[in-house]
Structure 1
Amino acid sequence: MKIQENPFVSEPFISLWFKHFGKGRTPRVFPQFPGLTFVRHPRLPFLINAGATQTKGVSHGEIPTGGNGIGNKVLLVYDVAEYFDVPVPDRSSGIKVRRVRQYPGFLVQTTGFRDVEEYLQKHISKNSRYKLKKYRRRLHEVFDIRYEMHGADISGKRLDALFDVFRKLLEKRFDGKQIVNNNLDEKEWAFYVASAREMMQSGTAGLFVVYSGEEPVAFTLNYFSGNVVFDAITTFDVAYEKFHLGTVSLMGLLNWCMQSNRSLDLSKGYFEYKNRWTNRKYYFEYRIYYSRSSVSGKLLAAGIAGFYRVKQWLRGQGWNERFHQLTYRLGKPRGYDSERPIPYLLKEPARPLDSEIQQEVVAGSPEWRKLRPPLFEFLYLNPGNITNTRIFKLGEPGVYLIKNPKAQARVEIQEAP
């Protein structure tokens, strides 16, 4: 990747990173690493690239030959993606590098595909294609779905409101998984929001939103290079999980990428859906640069490389997931009770129940939203647009009737165990 096209080494991204993570630390640049800015590690005696692990892949230009100029310093560059083809130092540069493979990465290369339909035809099995099209058709049949890639068209209060919903949906999704998501750290989230807000106005970031009616129900924060869209953070409303909203949202984003002649980088970290969709797998690596003539630099670089190799081995054994589960449990305040779906029983009544109706539950009201799990299950089993489906209270406490022109179901809200 050309250095001038990489959004994660651009001036807006780096300056905002310093504002949120590098306060009080002095930026350092080295002519040997064109395009990169470095800063001292907060606790250890080496330098790291500005942006650190908050990027989705960094690159730098050709390392010049003739003297190293970094003395005894050791420079750690996080998250160099293999497909960026970042140059390694020639022997005459006086600089050596240790390369430590870390996270897997996943790229959907769109070259040669007109749209997502053609990609499905050539890359996805016939059985999977049938399911994916069914998911999309069912979601659109039940809900009024539309897709928007927001950029400079929105700002201010409207953008703030979208990010508020984005965060709530992300919290809800990971509460359901009961693991920590680092993006929800207050400092990290503030940084991503600030960088998105500024870079959306300059056309180097975009917020992809799926709307159900006027309600945003899925989000992906993206950064743009010349020919790649980087998926930075993504989530969806888990109430729509039965309709495979996450998958349909990804199909919509991929279609947008194809129409824009860009590939989609699903970034680091293994998830089954990434493995299923990608047509090019790669790895991120950490690069540790040091002077060939520095004994202390060589020893420190070996120690850093050893640390990250052990860390990657533990990650491969699943210890990172266990760690995130533990920190989730320890991090919740006493008495915390994340939102849980209500337990219910949904069944087809033996006879019409219209005579037992007491009153209608107003669509969009807090009570209606609480009843979305049985409502969405009903709509999945009995497809029909949600605007033609109504919920009524029946005579018994906690008992409701859901009906549309084609079907009806009795819902019993059960006591939580």
Structure 2
Amino acid sequence: MRSNPFTSNIYENIWLRHYGKGRNAHKFKFLEGVKFIKGKWPDQYVNIGENITSGMFYQINQSVTDYKGKCFVVYDVPQYLDSEKTIKSSDIKILKIRQYKGLYVDLVKYNTIDDVILKCYNSSKSRYNFRRAIKQLHENHDITKKMFFGNIEEEEYNSLIHDFERILESRFDAINTHNTVLPMWNFYKEVLFPLINKKLVALFVIYDAGIPIALSFSFAYGDKLVVALRTFDINYSRVGLGNIEIYYLIEWCIENKIEILDFSKGESDYKDRWCDTDYFYEHHIIYDSTSLKAKATARAMATYFNFKQYLRDKNINLMITKWKYKMKQLT
């Protein structure tokens, strides 16, 4: 089974310290690749990290029976990483609940960054304008870029994480909306540093005269990167810095044999432009079908998740996000 940054000891221990509420980690032999904490209902367990991940996967060992009488929830399993094989045991059942849409770039299809540009910009004029924007950015600014992947000094990390927070705050203030990352900033600040040095997170930075103007954090699964956090200085919006940052990130991925660059949950114009494959995240509810209590818990959880997705499909979640921002401005 491939490595998963969200099931590393570093991520799990820091997440438990911030969000575990004193609960202990539980490991079950029948389900490989995921650890759990006790849920809110009796004999219910949820994966460590809950929904603060960008992709979980697991394998079921059908020769072990420590699932008996229990119900398990694994959040955010990308369809293309679903490693669950056919369940021979009639006792183990899995409910798969569709959640957020995700998009990625299948880099195996492309030999060079120019091949990606041909796909993303479908007219000669749009390709010319994009390349012209890159040229003008370099002509008018002192642009450099750097990827931190496997080695970063703590002092430099602290400086960059401060810049990321500052740029992110100013960007979301400018568009008058609530940001879900900043309330969890202390957690991210603590967890990302050791994961960079373990090659489980990649930090890409674009500088202008040595000052960061665009940054992105991506979680690494071997030959796959998942972009989880990204921001850029809004003063560079007119030159299309957001798209230029993605261009350079894809270029780095091709040069370093990354096969998939995943832009994770949610839809946006820039994802539609750069991505060529879409999929859905699913919540997997795994339960002992011989237990009436486990079966009832599983069905109740499925109803809950389906209702939440219904609200998303109706864009009610966007209205709530805007309301949260307005309330924040009043406090």
TM range (shorter): over 0.9
Query: Which runs of 5 or more residues in structure 2 are unaligned?
Result: none
* CA distance in structure 2 between the aligned counterparts of 1:177 and 1:318, rounded to whole angstroms: 18
Q: Distance in 2 between matches of 1:6 and 1:124?
A: 33
Query: For residue 107 of structure 2, what is the amino acid of its counterpart?
Result: T
RMSD of aligned residue pairs (Cα, Å): 1.7
Aligned to 2:245, which of 223, 227, 249?
A: 249
In structure 1, the residue matched to 2:206 is 210
Q: Match of 1:78?
A: 75
Aligned partner of 1:385 in structure 2 is none
- Whether the 8 Å contact between 1:68 and 1:94 is mirrored in structure 2 is no
> Could you tell me which of 222, 229, 232 is aligned with 2:225?
229
Q: Aligned AA for 1:58? A: M
* Equivalent position SS for 1:31: coil
Deviation at 1:44? 4.0
Letter in 2 for 1:71: K
1:154 to 152, 155, 179: 152
For 2:12 and 2:160, how far apart are their aligned partners in 1?
Answer: 24
Structure 1 residues 75 and 162 mapped into 2: Cα distance closer, same or farther (>3 Å)?
same
Q: Which segments of structure 1 move beyond 3 Å, counting only runs of 4 or more?
A: none
Residue of structure 1 in register with 2:299 after alignment? 302
Q: 1:24 aligns with which of 11, 22, 25?
A: 22
Q: Distance in 1 between matches of 2:254 and 2:207?
A: 20
Distance in 2 (alpha carbons) for counterparts of 1:21 and 1:71: 27
* 1:224 counterpart letter in structure 2: A
Aligned-partner SS, 1:54: coil
Q: Is the 8 A contact 2:149 2:199 kept in 1?
A: yes
Aligned residues: 328
Distance 1:89 1:56 in 2: 24
Q: CA deviation at 1:23?
A: 4.1
Structure 2: how far apart are the matches of 1:274 and 1:152?
A: 27
The farther-off stretch of 163-172 and 19-28 is 19-28
Using the alignment, how far apart are the partners of 1:116 and 1:67 within structure 2? 47
The equivalent of 1:283 in structure 2 is 280
**Inter-CA distance 57–142: structure 2 relative to 1 (3 Å threshold):** same
TM-score (structure 1 length as normaliser): 0.75
CA distance in 1, matches of 2:152, 2:48: 28
Contact 1:162 1:216 in 2 (8 A): yes
Q: Is the 8 A contact 2:217 2:227 kept in 1?
A: yes
**Separation in 1 of the partners of 2:109 and 2:322?**
42
State the shift of 1:227 in Å.
0.5
Contact 1:114/1:259 (8 A) holds in 2: no
The within-5 A match list for 1:63-102 is 63-66=60-63, 68-88=65-85, 90-92=87-89, 94-102=91-99
Q: Distance between the aligned counterparts of 2:36 and 2:92, measured in 1?
A: 16
Q: Distance in 1 between matches of 2:61 and 2:152?
A: 43
Largest Rg, 1 or 2: 1
Find the counterpart in structure 2 of residue 174 from structure 1. Answer: 172
Q: Which residue identity lines up with residue 256 of structure 2 in the other structure?
A: S
- TM-superposition CA deviations, 1:164-197 (whole Å, max 9, x none): 1100111111112222211101xx2122222210
1:269-291 per-residue CA deviation (whole Å, 9 max, x = no partner) reads 11121122111111100001110
Judged with a 3 Å threshold, the aligned counterparts in structure 2 of structure 1 residues 143 and 309 are, in CA distance, closer, same or farther, namely same
Give the C-alpha shift of residue 144 in structure 1.
1.4
Verify the 8 A CA contact 1:66 1:94 in the aligned structure 2.
no
Alignment map for 1:89-168 (pairs within 5 Å): 90-92=87-89, 94-126=91-123, 127-168=125-166
Which structure's relative contact order is higher, taking Cα pairs within 8 Å and 6+ residues apart?
Answer: 2
Query: Normalising by structure 2, what TM-score?
Result: 0.94
Structure 1: which amino acid aligns with 2:47? N
Shift of 1:147: 1.3
CA distance in 2, matches of 1:114, 1:89: 35
Given candidates 263, 266, 270, the residue that maps to 2:263 is: 266
